[in-house]
Structure 1
Amino acid sequence: MTSKNWLISGVLVLLCGGVLVAFTDIEVRAVRWVSCGPLSTAQEDKSELCN
């Protein structure tokens, strides 16, 4: 591979990694909002996830 191909490959790996991190963060926040939000029970509010 040439250095240009390595650069493109590196950029693609970083981009894909960034997308995965972003979606994971969004998923964690969505689960926390559903579990600890206004419709949650008292037991769910006391759970480790909500603390």
Structure 2
Amino acid sequence: MERIELKCLKCGDVIWSLYPGHMRWCSCSAIAIDQDEYMSRFIGRKEDMEVVSNDK
């Protein structure tokens, strides 16, 4: 599974999902990531997040 890391541009947290069904929020709750075996879902405004890692 691909690991995607998101950075919150409001609080600076870097978040990622560890396994399918594991949803993570940043500490200020502006963004979140949820992953399953087929796709990743980003929650929040595009302006508040940045993809910082997309390792395979």
TM class, shorter-chain normalised? under 0.3
TM-score, reference length from structure 1: 0.19
- Structure with greater helix percent: 1
Higher RCO by CA contacts (8 Å cutoff, separation 6 or greater): 2
TM-score, reference length from structure 2: 0.19
- Structure with greater strand percent: 2
User: Which structure would you say has the larger Rg?
Assistant: 1
